[in-house]
Structure 1
Amino acid sequence: MKKNILSGLFYSVLMLLCFCTAYGQRQLVINEPAPGVKKISTGKLDQFTPYGFCDEAPMKAAMQQLPGAKLPFNINDIKIRITNRGVLVEIPLADTEQLYGFGLQIGSFNQRGLRKKPIVNDNPLNDVGYTHAPMPFYVSNKGYGILVNTARYTTFYCGTTEKLNNKQKIVNQNKNGNSVAELYKNDDKPGSNVAVDVPGAEGIEVYIFEGPELLNVLQRYNLFSGGGALPAIWGLGVKYRVKADFSQQQVMQMASYFRTNNIPVDVLGLEPKWQTAAYSCSYVWNKELFPSPALLIDSMKSHGFHLNLWEHAFVSPKSPLYEPLKNKAGDYLVWNGLVPDFADPAASKIFGDYHKETFIKQGISGFKMDECDNSNLTTGNSTWSFPEYSFFPSGINGEQMHQVFGIVYQKAIYKIYKELNTRTFLDVRASNAFASSYPAALYSDTYNHDEYIRMIVNSGFSGLIWSPEVRESNSVNDLMRRSQTAVLSAQTLYNSWYLQNPPWLQINREKNNRNELMPDAKQVEANVRTLLNFRMSLVPYLYNAFADYHFKGIPPFRALVVDYPRDKNTYNISDEYLIGQGILAAPLTEKADERKVYLPAGIWYNFNTNQKYEGGKEYIIKTSVTELPIFIKAGTILPLAQPVEYIAPDTRFQITCMVYGANPVNTTLFEDDGTTFNYQKGNFNTVNLSCTNKKGNVKRTGNFKHSRYQIIDWKFVL
């Protein structure tokens, strides 16, 4: 009898081992690479992963300051299977959980119940997951985040599937829909997990970021990535990109127009024609249009302008970089140009060093890094980029390179600025995970205003910076509403690459390029100037928000659900967002001059009227085109500066502190030179602002020897 029992037990264990082998179950290795971050790994890991390209060390001391956390599930309940298809990761999912993230998503916000495939694509359509910044990273309102560290094309089933379970009760479901949509709709959300399908992988790493709150999850992720980006302070001013075929003389005339008309602009961007070749790129000044680049750079600098150059990374045969990179590039061309193997540090160094000597040391303050995403995967005739089966000398394949190309491109350029101890604010068309530390604003050729607003909100879930640029508009009202959104984003950008004149002088593209200005052009110009002056007033506040991003990991722009994860009313709000600690933005589009606004718990003040609102309710709000559609939380000390036309190294902001409510919370301003990385060595000040009995107090502590802020007045809104 005993022998039979032992024999049966041995048989059962053998069958279990066979089952595990057949279904790819592997032993998992779990460790903690940083406070509140767990890593699960198994199998043969890929050589190239998003975290493998992250040079910044985790800011562990700052992470240690975050509250302790406990996952809402047992970490051992995360299952990983390796089969002949690839890797399948299954993460528990509760019925009431709401999911967000996957990078810069354009067509969706709350990802619960969706199938997402975050793939880099130059035209992100619908809600399948195609995006300029695809990230295998999502967060839950239950206070945790999951990052699957892969550069492969990966699909996330966000509670959309239910596995066969012989013990579960069988329910006979019979749909009698009146339409095809009703028949095929999967609205029951039966899934009890998030399933992650990684075809081709032989192993995987999964990072788990703990809370306890959703905001803490994002802080841990950003700090683990090296801290949030802190751009040069002038980058928070206004950027204007001139027409693609402008000459040196026309650029100088445009600069003169801005200063003569007192329109704030800090950065002028040059588009493709500054080069001798653009598709692919030569990275050589076009001397017919720009006979004296050094004179241009010096002239712009003397008038307070920074110059930004458009380019992409596909190297023309006409470029001095072609021969040095010929053996360090992919085996397929793009626009007859090389695709540098940025996964190889040597290729990145060649590319970066050329930019250092030719442009950055000469005074170029930044670059617009275009076309680093991929051809539009939704159409069969979009084939301009390199194929997924491309081979690169480093060993990375075309699929993986597409996913990380924007990251490694940023890295090659940004590394040079860091070496020279010079901060910048870049533009880029693609990004991926662990990019929090890069001061690079994403942009898109799409132009739907509602989607642009949603991408501001979604960017905060993923350590990304989004720029809802303004081009031409359907109407003056459309122009003004878009301008409001641009003012209330990380980068205020007007992109006039196909416009002879600023869009506020003529909204119609054809008439603009014929120099036929609108009859009321000067009035529209004045209205735009009003909004841009608001932007310049907000610079000290925004700069402090970015400092909090760097040192504390707090996203400067984030969804309401991040700060109010238990308020069900915030779960699906994708057209409102928080800026810093005290501002709620509710942008409008040209569709209406009023909109519904939900204000979370607390007391809020209309910035324009000082009207007080009780939180936890919805309101219908009207905002004119020359006002900012924002609300200020009670307890906020809002530092507003007298607007300047540009931010010089010696600019000293004259600040009025607006105090909202009877019990103001102490706040700070971050003060440093604004242009170097000396703050990383402790060379900065913290300007503490407090208020008691309607008396303001200013206390400055730190090692920075100069004063960038002067508090000239205090005003109270009760």
Structure 2
Amino acid sequence: MPYEDAVLDFSNPETVDWYQGKLKHLFDQGVGVFKVDFGEAAPATGLYHSGRTGFYEHNLYPLRYNKAVAELTKKEKGYSLIWARSTWAGSQRYPLHWGGDAATTNTAMSATLRGGLSLGLSGFSFWSHDVGGFVTAAPEDLYRRWTPFGMLSSHVRSHGEPPTEPWLYNESFLKAFRKADNMRYELMPYIYAQAKESAEQGLPMMRALFVEFPNDPGSWLIDDQYLFGSDMLVAPLFEETTERKVYLPAGKWIDYQSGKVYENGWHTIKAGEIPIIALVKDGSVIPHIKLAQSTQDMDWKNIQLKVFASDNTTAASGKVFLPIATRAESIKVSKKGKSFEVLENPLKGQTTFKIKWKK
């Protein structure tokens, strides 16, 4: 928060009440979520209501700031979602946070991922970033490659120096943006279930490889790939290229777009029609949903289970979490003939499953 504006002392309960009252007026007008911007500039030389100096309060400031807005949001809206920039230990209780004003360069895109992985290792389940970068208009090729990276993050927004609306570039870019966005919408059951599991287990949605594969030495050396939930591995394109080297931990991995099977180790993999490399762990069930214009319009009574299994894999499993449910359910399938079938539907009566073997 720039000094020339104001720095509210959130260690003072009266200040919190005053500020929340201002925000409540906006909620009453229909606002859904507040962007909790700035929060980095509590002066180190300041004196605070807590009786502490800025040496103590500076880092605590964004936690107090996040809490004030999240708690009011919970009271007024029934959820505690915010969109915050600054944070400190404990702010994971008030999701979510994003990476700030990234440059519109390849190096900034890769640095954004490293920052997100670091935040995830600090106890934060949810994190986002400005798709395409923020500080200047994004070059088209960079924006095209950054878009699926954003779509395979826990939360998504395209925000920065205009133009950011995909239709302001050209028809080709608009189609590419739409394909990546549609991929995310069809993956919503997977994303929703993984979000539930991540929050309950204290895991990041976007996690470093060694979180899932701590005994794989190679996984500890990778900072330009990530696991999106427990079953998908994502390797964005950080250069103007259509392929890159990808490290795969133990087991087999199946290309999400092409269906090609890879063994563990290093591979040069070509991106598919959507300019990103995404692979699924062999033996995984990834729930999908029919494309809709809004999550509010999605038909959760009909879920498609895409089974990612190599030829010799006879069983697979995944998680499904319905909006009306209180917990994620495990779904197991078994190979029967040339397809797979659900062994038991714990969501019987709530949803039906259609199975597709991704080969």
TM-score tier by shorter-chain length is: 0.7 to 0.9
Which of the numbers 173, 192, 198 marks the counterpart of 1:543? 192
User: Structure 1 CA distance, aligned partners of 2:95 and 2:177?
Assistant: 26
Amino acid corresponding to residue 356 of structure 2 in structure 1: K
Matching residue of 1:461? 121
Instruction: Specify every segment of 5 or more residues in structure 2 that has no aligned partner in the other structure, as ranges.
Output: none
Amino acid corresponding to residue 502 of structure 1 in structure 2: E
Matching residue of 1:309? none
User: Structure 2 CA distance, aligned partners of 1:452 and 1:390?
Assistant: 32
Deviations 1:460-510 (A, max 9, x none): 2012333221246553221111112111112211014x426615523xxxx
Matching residue of 1:363? 30
Matching residue of 2:299? 652
**Is 2:30 the counterpart of 1:389?**
no
Matching residue of 1:689? 331
Secondary structure at the counterpart of residue 574 of structure 1: coil
Secondary structure at the counterpart of residue 621 of structure 1: strand
Matching residue of 1:108? none
- Displacement of 1:697 in angstroms is 4.6
Secondary structure at the counterpart of residue 630 of structure 1: strand
8 Å CA contact 1:687, 1:698 repeated in 2: no
Matching residue of 1:605? 254
CA gap 1:629/1:473 in 2 versus in 1, 3 angstroms: farther
8 Å CA contact 2:102, 2:109 repeated in 1: no
User: Structure 2 CA distance, aligned partners of 1:463 and 1:565?
Assistant: 17
CA gap 1:535/1:349 in 2 versus in 1, 3 angstroms: same
Deviations 1:673-713 (A, max 9, x none): 5xxxxxxxxx62544422123212553469xxx95xx4452
Matching residue of 1:481? 145
CA gap 1:663/1:404 in 2 versus in 1, 3 angstroms: farther
User: Structure 1 CA distance, aligned partners of 2:143 and 2:77?
Assistant: 38
After the TM superposition, which residues 350-429 of structure 1 pair with which residues of structure 2 at under 5 Å, given as runs?
350-356=18-24, 358-374=25-41, 386-420=42-76, 422-429=78-85
More helix by share: 2
Which of the numbers 210, 220, 226 marks the counterpart of 1:577? 226
- Displacement of 1:405 in angstroms is 1.7
**Is 2:286 the counterpart of 1:638?**
yes
User: Structure 2 CA distance, aligned partners of 1:501 and 1:461?
Assistant: 30
- Which structure exhibits the higher relative contact order, with contacts defined as CA atoms closer than 8 Å and separated by 6 or more residues? 1
User: Structure 2 CA distance, aligned partners of 1:434 and 1:646?
Assistant: 32
CA gap 1:561/1:554 in 2 versus in 1, 3 angstroms: same
Deviations 1:646-696 (A, max 9, x none): 122x632343111122243433212235xxxxxxxxx62544422123212
- Displacement of 1:554 in angstroms is 2.6
Deviations 1:229-263 (A, max 9, x none): xxxxxxxxxxxxxxxxxxxxxxxxxxxxxxxxxxx
After the TM superposition, which residues 14-53 of structure 1 pair with which residues of structure 2 at under 5 Å, given as runs?
none
Secondary structure at the counterpart of residue 356 of structure 2: strand
User: Structure 2 CA distance, aligned partners of 1:601 and 1:501?
Assistant: 39
User: Structure 2 CA distance, aligned partners of 1:417 and 1:714?
Assistant: 39
User: Structure 2 CA distance, aligned partners of 1:652 and 1:545?
Assistant: 19
Amino acid corresponding to residue 493 of structure 1 in structure 2: R
CA gap 1:336/1:373 in 2 versus in 1, 3 angstroms: closer
Matching residue of 2:269? 621
User: Structure 2 CA distance, aligned partners of 1:632 and 1:530?
Assistant: 19
Matching residue of 1:499? 162
- Displacement of 1:627 in angstroms is 4.6
- Displacement of 1:361 in angstroms is 3.4
User: Structure 1 CA distance, aligned partners of 2:137 and 2:71?
Assistant: 37
Secondary structure at the counterpart of residue 321 of structure 2: strand
CA gap 1:434/1:495 in 2 versus in 1, 3 angstroms: same
User: Structure 2 CA distance, aligned partners of 1:475 and 1:406?
Assistant: 32
Which of the numbers 555, 566, 572 marks the counterpart of 2:204? 555
Which of the numbers 175, 184, 189 marks the counterpart of 1:526? 175
User: Structure 1 CA distance, aligned partners of 2:163 and 2:141?
Assistant: 21
Secondary structure at the counterpart of residue 545 of structure 1: helix
- Displacement of 1:550 in angstroms is 2.2
Matching residue of 1:335? 4
Amino acid corresponding to residue 399 of structure 1 in structure 2: F
8 Å CA contact 1:425, 1:439 repeated in 2: yes
8 Å CA contact 2:205, 2:229 repeated in 1: yes
Task: Please report the TM-score for the alignment, with normalisation by the length of structure 1.
Answer: 0.45
Secondary structure at the counterpart of residue 423 of structure 1: coil
Deviations 1:277-327 (A, max 9, x none): xxxxxxxxxxxxxxxxxxxxxxxxxxxxxxxxxxx6x7xxxxxxxxxxxxx
Secondary structure at the counterpart of residue 287 of structure 2: strand
Secondary structure at the counterpart of residue 671 of structure 1: coil
CA gap 1:387/1:460 in 2 versus in 1, 3 angstroms: closer
User: Structure 1 CA distance, aligned partners of 2:328 and 2:139?
Assistant: 44
8 Å CA contact 2:71, 2:80 repeated in 1: no
Deviations 1:403-439 (A, max 9, x none): 1222111100110122235225322111011222222
Instruction: Specify every segment of 5 or more residues in structure 1 that has no aligned partner in the other structure, as ranges.
Output: 1-311, 315-333, 375-385, 507-520, 674-682
Computing the radius of gyration over CA atoms, which structure comes out larger, 1 or 2?
Answer: 1
Amino acid corresponding to residue 438 of structure 1 in structure 2: Y
Matching residue of 1:668? 319
User: Structure 1 CA distance, aligned partners of 2:277 and 2:81?
Assistant: 26
After the TM superposition, which residues 133-532 of structure 1 pair with which residues of structure 2 at under 5 Å, given as runs?
334-337=3-6, 339-356=7-24, 358-374=25-41, 386-420=42-76, 422-447=78-103, 448-464=108-124, 465-471=126-132, 475-496=139-160, 498-499=161-162, 502-503=165-166, 505-506=168-169, 521-532=170-181
Amino acid corresponding to residue 298 of structure 2 in structure 1: T
User: Structure 2 CA distance, aligned partners of 1:456 and 1:663?
Assistant: 35
8 Å CA contact 1:597, 1:619 repeated in 2: yes
Matching residue of 1:261? none
Amino acid corresponding to residue 171 of structure 2 in structure 1: K
8 Å CA contact 1:686, 1:700 repeated in 2: no
- Displacement of 1:558 in angstroms is 0.7
User: Structure 1 CA distance, aligned partners of 2:17 and 2:347?
Assistant: 39
User: Structure 1 CA distance, aligned partners of 2:263 and 2:164?
Assistant: 44
Secondary structure at the counterpart of residue 10 of structure 2: coil
**Is 2:359 the counterpart of 1:713?**
no
Secondary structure at the counterpart of residue 401 of structure 1: helix
Amino acid corresponding to residue 651 of structure 1 in structure 2: M
Secondary structure at the counterpart of residue 666 of structure 1: strand
User: Structure 2 CA distance, aligned partners of 1:611 and 1:410?
Assistant: 44
- Displacement of 1:629 in angstroms is 1.5
